[in-house]
Each structure stands twice: as C-alpha cells, then as structure tokens.
A and B are shown apart, each in its own frame.
Chain A
Amino acid sequence: GEQVEQLPSSLIVQEGASVLINCSYTDSASVYFPWYKQEPGKRLQFIIDIRSNMERKQTQRLTLLFDKKTKHLSLHITATQPGDSAIYFCSASRGSSGSWQLIFGSGTQLTVMP
C-alpha cells in the first residue's frame, strides 16, 4: 500500500525565517495531496492541497511544490510566526479530493521562536 515519508521530523527556527518540509510517496495511483496543521490540543486543520495535474500552488505564506516524476512534494513556509508552531502533516490519497482515505506522513514538529 501507499507509504508517505516526511522529513524533517522537527524544525526549530527564529521568527521570520523560511522553512521547507519534504514528503515523498510510493503509490503512483495517488492523485491528491492535502496538508494539515495540528496545534497542541486543537483539531487537524487543512492548510493547502495540490492535485497531481499541478506543479505548484501558493496561498499567502505557503507554497506547495509537486513533482510527479520523483513522487515528491515540498511545502515552503515564509516569514514564519510563533503562531505557525504546530505539527505539519502531508498526506496522499487515490481520490481526486478528500472523499477517499488519506495516508499520512509522520509529521514535522515546527517550533518558531519569537
């Protein structure tokens, strides 16, 4: 079945820095890749997604890059703030939207120091 690898497992940066989180997947049938953020004690929150017919998606301070050939994704967060501190998860799905099960990476714990 699908396996999703996510690196790094943790990141500690100063406020204002940019960070890069990488994910790779194994199943060529995966076509939808949503990312979620989980703050302590809060529910998983959708932050950005990309489909396999796209190479890049950007929203505010988030840029998501997708390489179908290498089965690799990377999430770039710019101008980080302490409020960005959370665990970030990438995921992969065979469904074209969220109406199919998600296979998650192991998460990246991001800590942004003021």
Chain B
Amino acid sequence: DAAVTQKPRYLIKMKGQEAEMKCIPEKGHTAVFWYQQKQSKELKFLIYFQNQQPLDQIDMVKERFSAVCPSSSLCSLGIRTCEAEDSALYLCSSSLGEQYFGPGTRLTVL
C-alpha cells in the first residue's frame, strides 16, 4: 500500500550539529506538511509545501531550519544547528484531500 515514508526513523545529534530528515509523500499528493511533536503530544505545524513550493512556515523554521522539496517524490527538513529543544518526533504528512502521516523521525539532541 502507498504510504508516507520517512527516513531515518531515529537520529541522534550533538548540540551544534546539522541534522537532515527525509519524507517521501504518497504518490500523486501535491501538498506536504512537516509537524513537530514533543512529549507524545504537542503537535506543532512547521512548514507546508504545495506542488514543491513552500507556502507557509513558522518563524522558527525561517530562522534555524531548511526545508525543500526537490521533486514531487521527495522532501527534506534540515536543522542547521541542533539545540536540545529540537529533540522531538518530526512528522511529515501529504495530502490530496485528507492528510496522511508518516511514522516520523525521532531526533535526539545530546
């Protein structure tokens, strides 16, 4: 079955290091979203792409993150300089109507 895929599933970085995670949206989905989930709750919207173009993002993403969708089948979210507060589960979703979520990348910053 088609499903949103995220890699890697787990990522461990030292404070100050760069981190990158990838998302493969469902085939045919034109919208891709990234969310940050802390403490198994607290789901926060980060950035949104439509047809590979960023349409909206929160200030934190503009300041410290990098996000691109170089193709319709691949998006990536990067953190330029990891901080302890970035430890979280990063969820990608794609949509043609309702949003379907990937399993997430769990980032731990030591």
Interface presence of A14 (CB below 8 A): no
Smallest Cβ-Cβ distance to A104: which chain B residue? B43
Within 8 A of B (CB), among A36-84: 36, 38, 42-46, 49
- Determine the chain B residues whose CB is within 8 A of the CB of A106 once the complex forms: 41-42
From B45, B91, B96, B102, A99 is in contact (CB under 8 Å) with: B96
B45–A101 CB distance below 8 A: yes
Within 8 A of A (CB), among B48-70: 48, 50, 56
Interface presence of A22 (CB below 8 A): no
Chain B interface, number of residues (Cβ within 8 angstroms): 26
Within 8 A of A (CB), among B86-109: 91, 93, 95-104
- Determine the chain B residues whose CB is within 8 A of the CB of A99 once the complex forms: 30-31, 50, 95-97
Known A43-B91, A44-B101, A98-B95; further 9 A-B contacts with Cβ < 8 A: A38-B40, A43-B4, A44-B91, A46-B100, A87-B41, A97-B97, A99-B95, A102-B45, A104-B43
From A42, A87, A98, B98 is in contact (CB under 8 Å) with: A98
| C-alpha spacing A102/B48, complex, angstroms | 10
Within 8 A of B (CB), among A6-22: none
Contact flag A89-B48 (CB < 8 Å), given A43-B102, A98-B98, A101-B33: no
Interface presence of A103 (CB below 8 A): yes
- Determine the chain A residues whose CB is within 8 A of the CB of B95 once the complex forms: 97-99
| C-alpha spacing A40/B10, complex, angstroms | 16
